[in-house]
Structure 1
Amino acid sequence: MSFQKIILATIALLATTNAHVLMKSPVPYSVDKLDNGPISKAQYPCKAQNGFTVSTMNPMAVGSKQTLQLSGSAVHGGGSCQLSISLDTTPTASSVFKVIKSMEGGCPGIDSQANSYDFELPASIPNGKATFAWTWFSKLSGQPELYMNCAPIEVTGGASDKSAFEALPDMLVANLDDSCESVPNFAVQFPNPGSAVQKGSANDAKPPVGAACGKSVGGNTPAQPSPSAGQPSSAPQSSSVAQPSVPVGGQPVASPKPTATAAPSNPGGVFAPGASSVAGAPAVTSTTLVTVTAAPSPAKPTPSAAPGSGTPAKPSTPSSGGGSGATSCSTNGAVVCNGEKQFGLCNNGNVVWQDVAAGTACVNGVISKRSFNSRVTRPRYRSPRAAMPIGY
């Protein structure tokens, strides 16, 4: 390579380096040593290798407008920036930076010159000396990069303690290793952006990826409840009694499979048995007999088919009510029959009717399965498959 080409290459490299972006105001620590390149893990935070010499103290009053001034033209198509505060005046890798503003997309600019950004210190920032940080995740740098400049500040008009400050979200730390990296060619969508967020004009932001992304000591990431905390067990309770498919006063169950029976909300309530009348279900079903000690006078039974007609009655489909019988009662918890095909529970003087399950009948306040000789106590009622022997 000729000497002239070496000179041109050197000039081009210097021009590229000098075109990067750095913070101009607030005035950074060790401003005379500050460079505008990305930060490495060994230099984190704040280009620590330059030291923390205070050339200019930057006063900041809580609630007053402040301005971040950036210098440089290599904005790499934009990206995302955060403004953060640490209470440490000589920050280390273990220092905690809390976010006061996030700029997602278009930061520090999308053209050839870096922009300026207005911000305010929230009232949660404690009074006294602290460290202000500007971080930038570039969009089109060709590799994951983090830029970071810090400045000394003195806060007035703020909080007297740091309890509210500690509740702010943590600054995102990424692109220092592969534990958390920005998505190439996209601005960063911050996992914990805080309450002050400025969006870019383009929808070009994606969350960073990696196991260490979004971990926060405080801020906007709520703790996830334990899946079993406060949740009822979904396992069916073991029982030798067949469970009804339709709970009294409830809606029809979509699946005929046995399910756990929830405790009734009305203490002392009575559950009547039932069985699914889904198409294909057997007409004769093993159920539990429910007997009450104080039943009201039975309503006049309404036969489902004319006696002696030879026409078998169709298995009833469960419904949520609408019977023609009386809707009032006197004995709380008693089973009330509305003919053989409907029953209800006396609940504080009211009755809600629903059909009995296939293969059963309601007679004299008792719901029982139909006899295999097709007879019940009163009136005669023939099941479609009542004449079949058990197990047919």
Structure 2
Amino acid sequence: MKKLLLSILSVVLVSALTLAGCGKVDQTTTGVGQQQGQATPVSPEKDTNEAKDVGPKYVNGLYRGSYSDEVVVRFKLADNNITEISFQTLKHGGTNYRELKEGDEKYPILVQNNQALEYLTGKPISAISDLYTPGNFIDDIDAYTGATVRTSKIHSAIKDALNRGVYTPDNVADVSVNNKEYTSGSYRGYFEGQVTIWFDLENNIFKNVKYRALQHGGTNYLELKEGDPKYPVVEQQNQLIAHLEGKPLSTLNDLYTPGNFVKDIDTYSGSTIRASKLISAINDGLNRGAYKPVEGFVGTIGEYEDGRYRGIYEDQILIQLNLENNVMKDINFRLLSHNGNNYLKMKEGDPLYPVYQQNLQALEYLEGKPLSAVYDLYKPGDFVKDIDTHSGATIRGSKILSAIKDALNRGIY
């Protein structure tokens, strides 16, 4: 009898230990913006009707993201809840909505967009999915119906912010080191029209880090000369990229505390330099993947939800496409410009019209093909024809690829 009791107790104990082991959560997360090494806690004892956020865990702090040059949002997260959110930019078609006053014909649009942000305040970050159905919480005002407010742009800007990672963390120690392995090659990243950064990665080591754009408040810092009152800002920004040169990708987190290595110059303190803009631009570049990978690169791509997507490459390309079973359909340019040339407005006979035709050929090639075909854009000469003096091999297919990758990162529009 004693032996029987001991056997039963042993089975119960083993079962209990087995169940306890099954309760562990896989703590691996991917993506620059997600807080690595932490899983979202699940408490079975909580009221099942309580709002929960079961997505990735984000670092507490301030985030900034944009949709083209039309929408820029900044918001704070605390335990994955949006504690405050506001527009830095809200404009469309030449109208700056943040400058409108009550009584202006388009003022209701500003009110409705603010209602969208008010709705999100205090809610978990997962509530941004409600922006797909704005008519459920935005009022009709005059002739403007709440259901037609373009909150998909707000959603896209918020996703962009999350993808870039925390802009200003509440606690720098909470920011996990990015240990992901990236394809060796050249990368390009962008931050709100102010910072464009180019860099190479070789076995996850930074090389050839340089600014292609550095501007703010109407000042182009790359054009400043020594002796200009603002030239110390240029020197400090160059110290930031010099700190990264030849170092592993993990060094990027050092930029959250620039005062540790950026010198004070005149009245400009190294600790107050806005290095977070550079972090954001570099993370944007990493999220897009290699602009030009090393020879022998073979790209793979995941499965994405069916729906409409929009993605951006700097201030040059805005692309829209539909996905159906990972097949691309209805691909078109919403914006295609470079150096002040708006290719979408060009007519036959314009000297640069062949460039426009070649870009259209690139989209025609992708139409109806699986999403994996985007990597063919690294070698556009294989399918884009030479026109006049414009070689199909020199078309910037990587810009289109970058915009498509950005669209996928932002999720369904």
Larger radius of gyration: 1
Same fold (TM over 0.5): no
State the TM-score bracket (shorter-chain normalisation). Answer: under 0.3
TM-score normalised by L of structure 2: 0.20
> Counting helix residues as a fraction of each chain, which structure ranks higher?
2
